[in-house]
């Protein structure tokens, strides 16, 4: 009797679980990852942001709109891409990417917040679903001069410095050497006589 009750309970739990899982995945569900592809964020240099939209649901997501107001015109300039991306349909169990290249206009601390994604989770749905991407938190935008001082190639500048500095060393040296050699020769000539 106890075995039968136990088996019935297990069967019931399985059915409830299965139905629950099916309900969760029936509609589309979008997860958005927002990533910075640069190693360094520098004033005036390109900053690449990649948004990856994953549909982990069983239905296609419709009228998907990704919007990121994190880069206002007074602080950033868009070099490539737009702050809004739209897809008519994202199939289930798939993902799409959106890449934006911006250029920071001034150095300092900056808060990289989430982008917003809105979509219809199914064809029958009328209510728009809203989701948020991952956020990166506060980042430091370096000054271009600090970045160049640390990481830029300075080979040409060193070569030019050597060219500029060498006359102040070589010219006095050759003048001294020519005078010394002249009187060294006279001394040798005297000794040989």
Partner 1 sequence: MSAKSSKSKNLSQEEEALLQDYSRDLSTKSSAFFYGNAAIVSAVPIWLFWKIHQMEPTNNYIYFILGTLFTAYLISFAYKNVKFVLKHKIFQNLDNVVQDEKDKKNEDRSLRKKNEIAEYEATTYSIFYNNSLFLFILLVASFVIFKNFTPLFNYFLSMSIASGLLALFSTSK
Q: Applying CB under 8 A, which residues contact partner 1?
A: 145-146, 148-149, 154, 157-158, 160-161, 164-165, 168-169, 172-173, 175-176, 179-180, 183, 186-187, 190
**Backbone Cα Rg of the chain:** 35
Q: How far is the CB of 36 from partner 1 (least distance, A)?
A: 25
CB 54 within 8 A of CB 156: no
Least separation in angstroms between residue 190's CB and partner 1 is 5
Comparison of 80 and 148: residue with beta carbon closer to partner 1: 148
Beta carbon nearer to partner 1, 124 or 190: 190
- Minimum distance, C-beta of residue 187 to partner 1, in the bound complex (Å): 5
- What minimum distance in Å lies between the beta carbon of 141 and partner 1? 16
Rank residues 124 and 187 by Cβ distance to partner 1 and give the closer one.
187
Tell me whether residue 94 or residue 186 sits nearer to partner 1 (CB atom).
186
Secondary structure, 3-state, 56-123: CCCCCEEEEEEECCCCCCCCEEEEECCCEEEEEEECCCEEEEEEEEEEECCCEEEEECCCEEEEECCC
């Amino acid at each position: 009797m106890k075995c039968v009750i136990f088996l019935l309970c297990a069967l019931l739990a399985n059915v409830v679980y299965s139905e629950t899982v099916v309900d969760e995945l029936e509609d589309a569900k979008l997860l958005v990852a927002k990533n910075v592809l640069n190693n360094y964020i520098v004033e005036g240099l390109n900053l690449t942001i990649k948004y990856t939209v994953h549909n982990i649901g069983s239905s296609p997501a419709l009228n998907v709109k990704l919007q990121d107001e994190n880069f206002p015109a007074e602080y950033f300039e868009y070099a490539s891409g737009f702050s809004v991306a739209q897809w008519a349909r994202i199939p289930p169990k798939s993902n799409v990417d959106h890449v934006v290249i911006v250029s920071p206009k001034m150095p300092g601390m900056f808060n990289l917040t989430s982008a917003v994604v809105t979509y219809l989770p199914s064809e029958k749905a009328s209510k728009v679903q809203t989701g948020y991407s991952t956020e990166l938190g506060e980042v430091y935008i370096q000054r271009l001069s600090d970045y160049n001082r640390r990481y830029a190639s300075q080979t040409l500048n060193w070569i030019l410095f050597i060219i500029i500095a060498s006359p102040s060393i070589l010219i006095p040296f050759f003048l001294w050497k020519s005078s010394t050699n002249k009187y060294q020769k006279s001394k040798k000539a005297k000794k040989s006589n």
